[in-house]
A and B are shown apart, each in its own frame.
Chain A
Amino acid sequence: MISLHNVSKSYQQHQSILQAVHLVSLNIDKGEIHGVIGASGAGKSTLLRLMNVLETPDEGTVMVNNQTLTTLSNRKLREARRSIGMIFQHFNLVANKTVFDNVAVPLELASYSKKAKVERVKECLEFVGLRDKAHQYPAQLSGGQKQRVAIARALANRPAVLLCDEPTSALDPQTTAGILDVLQTVNKELGVTIVIVSHEMDVVKSICDKVTVMESGEILKTVSIEPQAYVIPKNDPKWFLQQLTEKERNSNA
């Protein structure tokens, strides 16, 4: 489904050159949930942005859905991007548009008729469980709800691939569990191939079939894993208090 071949990307930083991704080759199969994990600066976000050519690679080829994105004309590339959804750590919703209008944007870009658009938006909001929020603005929603809207927006054009850039890193553990649930449903029910970049080991462990570990712009190793349920840490005030006072007692001792 996604295949990178000898892809490199570097940035000019003041006087020096930063090699963000160096000669990486990677194949991601259809229907997979593929994790990319690594320390900050390991190049995982850049790797994800190379998959829909948000970053143009210095060398190498990027293939998604049997199309070589790196050789497409601008117009064809924009069309190809419509079947590659993307969500972000900070959601990136348009704050001056309602939830409904945010989800409708990709459909307008693909020139849907008004009727088809309304129906599809409702369907997508239903899917993420936010149909009743359609006429609210993003500022009125919680972080988890915003990410659900972003997922609905990314799914509107029925993409084959969903790229997720740190999708839960701005959320608390409870909300994270909810979002991971939605992503899993997207994968199982709609058959969408998902790539998740994260620095949170629990997230990657809980839903990925395969995980690529990155180190300073290169792939250290790609391993197959058995997804384990995401364990929600305790959220009980008494437990918080207990943890805090125990520490204090230890340090007093």
Chain B
Amino acid sequence: MPEIILKYQAEIWQSIGETFVMVGISIIAALLIGLPIGTLLYLCRKGQLLENRALYSSLNVFVNIVRSFPFLLLVVFLIPFTRFIVGTAIGTMAATIPLSIMAIAYYSRLVEQALLEVPRGIIESAVSMGASVPEIIFKFLFLEARSGLILGLTTSTISFISYSTVMGIVGGGGVGDFAIRYGYQRFETELMIYMIIIMIFLVQTIQFTGTTIAKKLDKR
């Protein structure tokens, strides 16, 4: 093990832990809120089961606005909101708020796209069998789109890791922030390179896991 890693062992482990907390909570937010919003985006489209122009437009505008923010500005812009929810705007927990908002917008768009891949005929046959809207969602839509939903979550997770690297600005910590503060600002280039290797390894593992699961579940 290189000496420099041993020297900063404790800090490295802590920064990895912070990244996991930030990204983990963003994934949970994406699943709990992004998945339903994406499903509503799909269902409220013209010609779909719950066609609703007003709801579709408002969700669509929300997703577009969040996604058009440069992420750093979103973090700053949301400081009052973060303070309201978490009680403080500084630290790892505070950092999860803007990350989760971005995660929700990001994943809901990917969910909408995955659901659009489901052939219309499947929905039609579900309706002809007398299925209700919740039954259509859970027994047909999600089942048929499951590979796309998982690949979307994989892509999202990797983006969240990338977004989480700028959370140093509100003291969020994490691997990226550690690499910048110790590796770049303290001129420990070797340390920076090791941190980049850790990030690469993390992203490769996530992508490999996501692709493998998606492929295994795809029977089309």
Residues of A within 8 A of B (CB): 52, 54, 77-82, 84, 86, 88, 90, 92, 94-97, 105-106, 108-110, 137-139, 163
Contact = CB atoms under 8 A, between A and B. Distances in A.
Q: Kindly name the residue among B122, B129, B144 whose own CB sees the greatest number of chain A CB atoms within 10 A.
A: B129
Nearest to B217: A96
A137 B219 contact: yes
A30 to B, nearest CB: 20
Contacts of A52: 128
B189 to A, nearest CB: 49
B146 interface: yes
B111 to A, nearest CB: 17
B83 interface: no
Q: How many of chain B's residues touch chain A, expressed as a range?
A: 20 to 34
Nearest to A163: B128
Nearest to B143: A96
Interface string B75-97: 00000000000000000000000
A92 B143 contact: no
A39 B121 CA distance: 22
B95 to A, nearest CB: 37
A105 B125 CA distance: 11
Contact of B128 (A79, A84, A110, A138): A84
B20 interface: no
A96 B220 contact: yes
B125 A81 contact: no
Contacts of B143: 94, 96-97
A108 B139 contact: yes
Given A95-B220, A96-B146, A96-B218, A78 B131 contact: yes
Interface in B136-166: 139-140, 143-144, 146
Nearest to A79: B130
B119 interface: yes
A86 B220 contact: no
A81 B128 contact: yes
B188 interface: no
